[in-house]
Structure 1
Amino acid sequence: MVNLTYNKNRPLPSAEELPSSDETPVDNQLQNDLPNLLLNLLALIWSGRDDWYFGVDMAVYYNPDEPAFVPDGFLAVGVNHDTGERGRLSYILWGEKYILPILFLEVISEKYNSEYGRRGRFKNRQRLEVYKLISGKYQLLESENNRVWLPEIGLALGYEKGEHIAWYREWLYWYDQSGNRYLTAEERAMNAEAIAAQERLAKQEAEAIAAQERLAKQEAEQKAIRLAERLRALGINPDEV
Structure 2
Amino acid sequence: MIQPHTQLNLPKGEDLPSSDGLPVDNELHILIPNLLASILGFIWAERLDWFLGINMGIFYATGVNPRVPIVPDAFLCLGVERVKDNKLRESYVVWEENNIAPLLVLEVVSKTSGDEYDKKMAKYAQLGALYYVIYNPDFWQRDKHEPFEVYRLDNGQYQRSLSEPFWMPEIGLGIGRGLGNYRGIQREWLYWYNQQGQRIVSPEELLQRYQERFGELS
The range that moved more, 78-87 or 132-141, is 78-87
| 1:163-196 alpha-carbon deviations (Å, 9 max, x no partner) | 1111121110111111221111111111122233
**2:212 aligned residue:** 194
Counterparts of 2:10 and 2:116, CA distance in 1: 36
The range that moved more, 117-126 or 56-65, is 117-126
Match of 1:174 among 180, 192, 210: 192
Aligned-partner residue type, residue 20 of structure 1: S
Describe how 1:135-146 pairs up with structure 2 within 5 A. 135-144=155-164
Aligned-partner residue type, residue 44 of structure 1: F
Counterparts of 1:189 and 1:28, CA distance in 2: 27
| 1:34-82 alpha-carbon deviations (Å, 9 max, x no partner) | 1111111110111110000000000001129431111110000000002
Match of 1:13 among 11, 14, 19: 11
Residue 197 of structure 1 and its aligned partner are, at CA, apart by 3.5
Higher RCO (CA 8 Å, separation ≥ 6 residues):
2
Q: Is structure 2 residue 106 aligned with structure 1 residue 101?
A: no
Q: Is structure 2 residue 178 aligned with structure 1 residue 160?
A: yes
Q: Is structure 2 residue 153 aligned with structure 1 residue 133?
A: yes
**1:151 aligned residue:** 169
Counterparts of 1:93 and 1:173, CA distance in 2: 26
Larger Rg: 1
Unaligned runs of 5+ in 2: 120-139
Contact 2:29-2:73 within 8 A present in 1 as well: yes
The range that moved more, 10-19 or 71-80, is 10-19
Distance 1:113 1:7, change over 3 A: same
Identify the structure with the greater strand proportion. 2
**2:24 aligned residue:** 26
Counterparts of 1:185 and 1:176, CA distance in 2: 16
Unaligned runs of 5+ in 1: 202-241
Q: CA RMSD in A?
A: 2.5
Identify the structure with the greater helix proportion. 1
Contact 1:59-1:69 within 8 A present in 2 as well: yes
Counterparts of 1:112 and 1:19, CA distance in 2: 23
Runs of 4+ in 1 over 6 A off after TM superposition: 116-121
Calculate the TM-score normalised by the size of structure 2.
0.80
Counterparts of 1:133 and 1:187, CA distance in 2: 33
Calculate the TM-score normalised by the size of structure 1.
0.73
Percent sequence identity over matched residues? Answer: 38
Contact 2:7-2:95 within 8 A present in 1 as well: no
Q: Describe the SS at the equivalent of 2:166.
A: strand
Residue 12 of structure 1 and its aligned partner are, at CA, apart by 3.2
Aligned-partner residue type, residue 78 of structure 1: G
Q: Describe the SS at the equivalent of 2:21.
A: coil
Distance 1:112 1:89, change over 3 A: closer
